[in-house]
Amino acid sequence: MTERIFNFNPGPAALPSPVLEEIQSELMNFKGTGMSILEISHRSGAFEAVLNDAVARIKRLLNLSDAYHVIFLQGGASTQFFMVPMNLLKPGLSADYVNTGTWSTKAIKEARLLSQNIHVVASSEDRNFCYIPKNIQFTSGSVYVHLTSNNTIKGTQWAEFPDTGGIPLVADMSSDILSRPLDLSPFGLVYAGAQKNLGPAGVTLVIIRQDLLDRCRVDLPSMLNYQTHVAKNSLYNTPPVFGIYVVQLVLKWLEETVGGLEAMGRLNDQKAGLLYDLLGGEDFYRPTADKDSRSMMNVTFRLPTADLEKEFVAAAQKQGLGGLKGHRSVGGCRASIYNAVPLEAVETLVSFMKEFVRTHG
Ligand code: PMP
C-alpha cells in the first residue's frame, strides 16, 4: 500500500488523520522545548499541561461533577478486571456481574480469584452472547454492578443501562467510551483501554467517583491502589507520557473538530445505520446480534460460508478496506467503526459489499 487504507481494525484502531498529522508536526520539537514528547520529563510543565488538559476535556465532554476523578493507568483494561474487585471488595462484601461476552467473562474470572461473593445476575451465554439481557434482578447489598457497555467481539452494546436500584454501576467501556452522549451519574467507576476510541495502546482511562474511592481498601500495593493515582494526579510513577499526549489530541479533535458527543453520536448512528440497513436488506449477509442489542461500534456478520468470508476479507483488503476479519474465537466478519473511522470509509465499505453480493451472491 502506498496510501493509507480505510481501517476497520478492532483495536488498536484508526486514529483521526488530523491527530496523526499533529503528532508528526510536533514530534521533533514539542511546544518549543527543543525535545520530542517522547523525550521530555513527565514532571515537566509542558507534560503536566497535556495531562491536565486531557483530564479537563474528559470532564467537560462527560459533564462530570467534582465528585469524579479522572486518572490514566497502565496494564490495559485487563488490569482493571482485577483492580476493581481488589480495591472495592473488602472481605465479606459482594458484587453483581452481568455476563455479555468474552470480556465480561474475563472480568468475572478475575473477580472470582479475589472474592467468593461474585454473583453473575444475568448472562446471554445461552445464545452465544448475541443479545443484552433484560429485566435483571440485582442483589441488594452488592457494592457494585459490573457490566461491559460494548462487546467488541460479539457485536452487542447496551442501548440503555439497567436500573440497579441505586447500586453504583462499574463499566468496562473500552470499546464505546465517548462514542455517544452519556449520563455518568449512575456510574461509580468506568474504565477503558485507550486503543479503540481514545488513542494508542498502553494507557487506560479510569474515572472513579469519590464515594467509591472512599470505600477502597488501603492495604494494597501502591501501584494497584486507586487512591495512590488519584492523590498524585496520575503522576505517582512515570505515566505513559506519549499515550496520554495522543489521548489529549484525540479529545481536542473530538471537542473542537467533531463538536462534542452529540455530534459524535449522530455521526456514529449514521455510520452504523448504513451498515445495518445493508445487512437487513440482503440475505447474503447475516448480522450475528439481535436487532435490539446491536453495537454501533462493532458490526458483526456472517456470509453463507467460511470460504466466502475469507474471500470477502481478502478482496476488501485489496481495495484498501482493512481489518474486517471477525475475532478468531467467533469467525465471520466484523467492521469496527469507532469514532475516528470516517463516514467515507463506511460508504466505501457499503459499496464494496453491494458489489461483492452482485458477483458472489
Ligand atoms: N474490554 C473490552 C471491551 C475490550 O474490547 C478489550 C480489548 N479488545 C479489553 C477489555 C482488553 O483490553 P486490554 O487489551 O487493554 O487489556
Q: What is the pLDDT of residues 116-143, one digit of tens each?
A: 999 999 999 999 999 999 999 999 999 9
Sorted by where each begins, the domain ranges of the chain are 18-258, 260-360
DSSP assignment of 257-271: II-SHHHHHHHHHHH
Cα distance between residue 226 and residue 175, in whole Å: 22
Round to whole Å and give the CA distance between 174 and 81: 12
Give CA torsion, residues 212, 213, 218, 224, to 10 deg.
100
d(CA 87, CA 226): 7
Spatial separation of the C-alpha atoms in residues 62 and 60, rounded to whole Å: 5
Q: Ligand 1, residues 81, 83, 103: which to mutate, most atoms within 8 A of Cβ?
A: 103
Nearest to 47 by CA among 251, 250, 252, 243: 243
Testing ligand 1's pocket by substitution, the residue of 9, 79, 83, 152 carrying the most ligand atoms inside 8 A of its CB is 152
CA dihedral 237, 241, 244, 248 (to 10 degrees): 130
Residues framing ligand 1 (Cβ under 6 A): 11, 76-78, 103, 148, 152, 172, 174-175, 193
CATH number of 18-258: 3.40.640.10
Residue nearest to atom 3 of ligand 1 (CA): 174
Atom of ligand 1 nearest to the CA of 10: 8
pLDDT value of position 157: 98
| Distance of alpha carbon 157 from alpha carbon 152, whole angstroms | 9
Burial of 135 (0-12, 13-18, 19+ CB in 10 A): exposed
HSE value, Cβ hemisphere, 13 Å, CA-based, for 224: 15
Which cell numbers hold the place of 232? 498524585
Q: Collapse the DSSP code of 344 into the 3-class scheme (helix H, G, I; strand E, B; otherwise coil) and give the result.
A: helix
Q: Of all helices (H) and strands (E), which one includes residue 17? A: helix 17-25
Report how far ligand 1's centroid is from the alpha carbon of 166 (Å).
27
The Cα 80–Cα 224 span in angstroms is 9
Low-confidence ranges of the chain (pLDDT < 70): none
Instruction: Say which residue the cell 490514566 belongs to.
Output: 72
CA of 205 to the centre of ligand 1 (A): 12
> Which residue, judged by its Cα, is nearest atom 2 of ligand 1?
174
Using alpha carbons only, give the angle 71, 152, 244 rounded to the nearest 5 degrees: 25
**DSSP type of residue 179:** S
The DSSP secondary structure of 318-339, one letter per residue, reads HTTEE--BPPTTT-SEEEE--T
Contact 178, 59 (CB under 8 A): no
Q: For residue 280, what pLDDT is reported?
A: 87
Ligand 1 center to residue 174 CA distance, Å?
6
- For residue 78, how far is its CA from the centre of ligand 1 (angstroms)? 6
Q: How far apart are CA 240 and CA 134, in angstroms?
A: 38
For a mutational test of ligand 1's pocket, the pick from 9, 102, 149, 174, i.e. the residue with the most ligand atoms closer than 8 A to its C-beta, is 174
44: DSSP letter = S
Question: How far is residue 343 from each of residues 7, 37, 324, measured CA to CA in Å?
Answer: 12, 31, 16
In the prediction, which pLDDT does 23 show?
A: 98
Supply the pLDDT for residue 282.
76
Please name which of 227, 32, 53, 217 lies closest in space to residue 143, comparing C-alpha atoms: 217
Known catalytic membership, residue 103? yes
pLDDT of residue 311: 97
pLDDT at 89: 97
Among 154, 196, 271, 325, the active-site one is 196
What is the distance in A from the centroid of ligand 1 to the CA of 336? Answer: 14
Residue 108, pLDDT score: 98
* Rounded Cα gap, residues 341 and 209, in angstroms: 31
For the chain, how big is the Rg over CA atoms in Å?
21
For ligand 1, atom 12, the nearest C-alpha belongs to 77
> Which fold is adopted by the domain 260-360?
Aspartate Aminotransferase, domain 1 (3.90.1150)
For residue 291, give the DSSP letter. Answer: G
